[in-house]
Amino acid sequence: MTPGHHHPVTATGAHRHRLAVVLVLTVCVAVGEAFGAWLSGSLALLADAGHLVLDAAGVTLALVAARLAMRPSSGHRTFGLQRTEILAAAANAILLLALAGYVIVEGIHRTGDPPPVDGQLMLAVAVAGLLANGCALLLLHRGSRESLNVRGAYLEVLGDLFGSAATAVAAVVVVTVGWTRADAVASVAVGLLILPRAWHLFREATDVLLESTPRGIDLDDLREHLLTVSGVVDVHDLHAWTITSGVPVVSAHVVVDPADIDGTCGGSILDQLQHCLADHFGITHSTLQLEPLAHRDHEHHVHP
């Protein structure tokens, strides 16, 4: 890869316009819920508003990461800045985990000594948030299957949707029954909704940063496919990892029969190997080292 090479649009970049619309929706709802929490005294609204602020930060990071990922590579950063998307997802997950912990602890504290809550205002704001989150969810649905960062934003909005629903139910209880502890219970429910999703996102991001084998790729199966190419004797030192969402890469040492590696056969074998990776595994970026049969023993000694 030469310096100045331009990378294709990443999975997040393909959906950046939808992310921008979701960002505007999220900021508007967050401001409304924060103001509503201040007026009504609702912890559940405050928790949801805090979550929305972090969602807005997460979407902003996703947009910035998508923009940075489109920058050309250089001799210093040969893959450009594509992995900024994963760093953004990891940072967002950590913030969400911290928020969930705070909301759960504060909610448990309030169940013992609940403050007065304006249930009607709480209900109106929660319903408005519910509608806005529903629109945002629809906008992000398709991209959530293609990009880790968009998936993170989608899961956050999904958590917000359930949070707004829980807050609305709690508000109905406060209005009809007068049980103000429902607000604290709803805030704990919101925190518990955030925790598993944040943890899942954090694990996915760390898998990429630790260069784990991408999900859906079995290295034994990949090796077997490469061995079906005519002239290939062995495949070893096989690695697969992910640069950013939707960009898996593979490197391998491929042992080829001496009769095939000479002349034009080597190029033909390399083409077949790359077509195999693209057709069966969706991998379009690979580094394959073709080796003569006599070199295999030395390679196996270095790489058992």
Quote the pLDDT of residue 92.
79
Residue 224: which pLDDT band, with cuts at 50, 70 and 90?
very high
Burial degree of 225 (CB within 10 A; 0-12, 13-18, 19+): middle
Residue 126 lies in a domain: yes
Residue 94 lies in a domain: yes
Does 159 lie in the same domain as 201? Answer: yes
Q: Is the predicted pLDDT of residue 5 greater than 60, yes or no? A: no
**Gap between the Cα atoms of 76 and 270, Å rounded:** 28
**Gap between the Cα atoms of 212 and 241, Å rounded:** 6
Does 233 lie in the same domain as 204? Answer: no
Does 271 lie in the same domain as 167? Answer: no
Quote the pLDDT of residue 7.
47
Q: What is the pLDDT of residues 136-168, one digit of tens each?
A: 888 887 666 666 667 777 877 887 788 788 889
pTM given for the model: 0.71
Helices (H), 70-147: 84-112, 119-140
Beta bridge partners of 254: 235, 290
256: domain CATH number is: 3.30.70.1350
Quote the pLDDT of residue 288.
94
Q: For the stretch 46-56, what's the b/e string if a residue is b when 16 or more beta carbons lie within 10 angstroms of its beta carbon?
A: bbbbbbbbbbb
Q: Which residue, chain included where needed, has tokens 């943890």?
A: 199
- Phi, psi for 290 (deg, rounded to 5): -85, 130
**Gap between the Cα atoms of 201 and 16, Å rounded:** 19
Does 228 lie in the same domain as 203? Answer: no
Of residues 43 and 229, more confidence is placed in 229
Residue 8 lies in a domain: no
**Gap between the Cα atoms of 198 and 208, Å rounded:** 16
161: domain CATH number is: 1.20.1510.10
State the residue range of the domain holding 260.
Answer: 219-302
Quote the pLDDT of residue 66.
67
Which residues make Cβ contacts (< 8 Å) with residue 219, sequence separation at least 6?
213, 238, 240
Q: What is the pLDDT of residues 267-297, one digit of tens each?
A: 888 999 999 999 999 999 999 998 887 776 6
Does 188 lie in the same domain as 224? Answer: no
Q: Average the pLDDT over 216-245 and give the result.
A: 92
The total of structural domains in the chain comes to 2
Q: What is the pLDDT of residues 108-144, one digit of tens each?
A: 988 888 888 888 999 999 999 899 888 888 888 766 6
Residue 214: which pLDDT band, with cuts at 50, 70 and 90?
very high
The amino acid occupying position 94 is I
Residue 3: which pLDDT band, with cuts at 50, 70 and 90?
very low
**Gap between the Cα atoms of 67 and 187, Å rounded:** 35
Does 260 lie in the same domain as 182? Answer: no
Quote the pLDDT of residue 21.
83
Quote the pLDDT of residue 211.
92
Q: How much of the chain, in percent, has pLDDT values that exceed 70?
A: 85
Q: Is the predicted pLDDT of residue 6 greater than 90, yes or no? A: no
Quote the pLDDT of residue 297.
63
Q: Which of 209, 237, 261 is the last residue of a domain?
A: 209
Quote the pLDDT of residue 222.
96
Q: What is the arrangement of strands in the sheet containing 247-256, beginning at the earlier edge strand?
A: 232-244, 247-256, 285-292
The amino acid occupying position 153 is A
Does 191 lie in the same domain as 230? Answer: no
Q: Is the predicted pLDDT of residue 4 greater than 60, yes or no? A: no
